[in-house]
Every structure is written in C-alpha cells, then in structure tokens.
Amino acid sequence: MIYHPRTPREAVNLRKEHADTAVYLAGGTDDLRLGGAAEGKDLIDITGFDFNTITEKDGKVYIGALCTLQDVIESELVPAFIREAAGFCASFAKRNSATVGGNLGLRRSDSYLAAALTAAGAVLKSITPHGEQDKPVGEYLQSDCKRLIEYVVVDKDRTGSVKRFGNTSSSHATLIAAESGGIYALSVQGSGLIYGTTPCRLPQRPRQRRRRGLCRQRYHRLQRQAQICELHPVLSG
C-alpha cells in the first residue's frame, strides 16, 4: 500500500502507527531496488512536501531533505567539500533522484554525505511524534531513532576536505574520510560511522576489528588505500 499524507505531521503519525510495516519514500533509488528497504513494506510518499529548497539565513545553509544530490552539487550556498561529497555518486541519473534525506535516513555505511556532514557539524531539523527536534548528524546516524528529516543545517562558511576510497568511481565506496574544523569522520562500508575531535583510528586490536565487522584482509586493504591516497594522518593519527 502507498500512503499519500497531506502534511508532514500526518506522515509522522502514519510512520508511528505502522512502525514495523512502512517506510518513507522520497527518491526511491535504494528503497525501490530489488532487495531494497521497501521490499515487502508499505510506502509513505513524502515527495509532495516542500523540503526541496536550499536557502541561507543568518550564516546558516538550510538544505531541504528532498533536495537531490545534484541540487547540492549545483548550489553555491553549500560548502565546497560537501558538494564534492555529493559528487561521489558517479551516476548523473541517480544524483538527480537520490535525496539528501534518503541518503542519511537509510544510515548506509557507504553514504555519500555522512562523513562530510558529520565533520561539518551539521544538524538535522526533523519532525518526530513528540514535535520538531534538532540533532547533530553524527548522533543521528549512530542512533536508531525514526524521524522525518526536514532540513540539514550547516554553517555557510564551513571549510574542510573529503576523500573517497573505492575500487572504481561507480562502485560503492569502501571508505569516505572527512575533516572540518578539527572534527574527523570516517564512513566505513560494513562498519558504520566513526567520528571525533582527534584523527580517527581504524580499530587496532583483533577484537575491536571484529566488533566493527572488519576481517583481517579488509582491514589491511583499508590501510593500503589510505596510504596510497596519503590520507593516513586522518586514519591513524
């Protein structure tokens, strides 16, 4: 079944009522693929909401959750390294469908934007059954809370850097590393997000690596990629 709520509040109430059987539908690039998150689920269509603008107010940039990755790339308001991260999606067609909110809401460990937005200190403005709430992107990605994302808010003048490691430009990233304002973030495929105010470390001990889902071969491959791309200061401190 596909629900077509008329307001964000109605969408949130539907999600709460059908917590185990329904998901939000925006760009659908992941949800609607074979084996995607929407398989066997009811859909709550949120594409009609007005979360599709990028605006500036008081030195902050508000990126609507329904903005596509291509919208982010083309906006001069968005900090350059976040635009670069959006460009890690190699498919032009996908960039014109995949949304900012969907890329974060799915909590994929190979998210294009997670590391850059976390390092940027970005904040999610969202709607929950308890009302509107703000939450740092990093905290949101490491939680299991369910919420309807309205905007991602980031400082307009934020500067930083971001690097992507993968087998090819079109394959899912093995690792994305970002730094901004002394905040470091790593998004590791199959392991999740790591971030903090000191350079991030890949887990050193075998037990720590197992907890992160990193087998020995995968761990050493990540190390080699970092060294080849001269990003090991971010990875190993």
Q: What angle do CA 89, 94, 96 make, to 5 degrees?
A: 105
Rounded CA-CA distance 120/53 in Å is 20
* Amino acid 26: pLDDT: 82
Q: Which residues partner with 178 through β-bridges?
A: 162, 185
Lowest mean pLDDT among 37-41, 56-60, 94-98, 183-187: 37-41
- What are the tokens at 184? 């470091």
Average pLDDT for 48-60: 95
pLDDT at 31: 54
Query: Which of 42-46, 86-90, 127-131, 168-172 comes out lowest in average pLDDT?
Result: 168-172
Burial class (CB in 10 A: 0-12, 13-18, 19+), 186: buried
The tokens for 112 are 């294009």
Burial of residue 199 (number of CB atoms within 10 Å: 0-12, 13-18, 19+): middle
pTM of the model as a whole = 0.79
Is the pLDDT confidence value at 15 over 50?
yes
Give the residue extent of every domain in the chain: 1-49, 161-236
- How far apart CA 116 and CA 168 sit, in angstroms, is 20
Residue of 121 and 172 predicted with greater confidence: 121
Q: pLDDT band for 182, please (50, 70, 90 cuts).
A: confident
pLDDT tens-digit readout, 191-200: 678 777 655 5
- pLDDT for residue 235: 44
Q: What are the pLDDT digits (tens) for 93-149?
A: 889 999 999 899 888 877 899 999 999 999 999 998 888 999 999 999 888 777 899
Tell me what pLDDT residue 207 has. Answer: 56
| pLDDT at position 150 over 80 | yes
Helix (H), strand (E) at residue 140: helix 137-141
**pLDDT: which is higher, 210 or 87:** 87
User: Strand, coil or helix: what is 42?
Assistant: strand
The rounded mean pLDDT for the chain is: 81
Across-strand partners of 158? none
CB atoms inside a 10 Å sphere around CB 82: 28
Q: In the chain, what's the furthest Cα-to-Cα distance?
A: 51
In CATH terms, the fold of domain 1-49 is 3.30.43
pLDDT for 212: 52
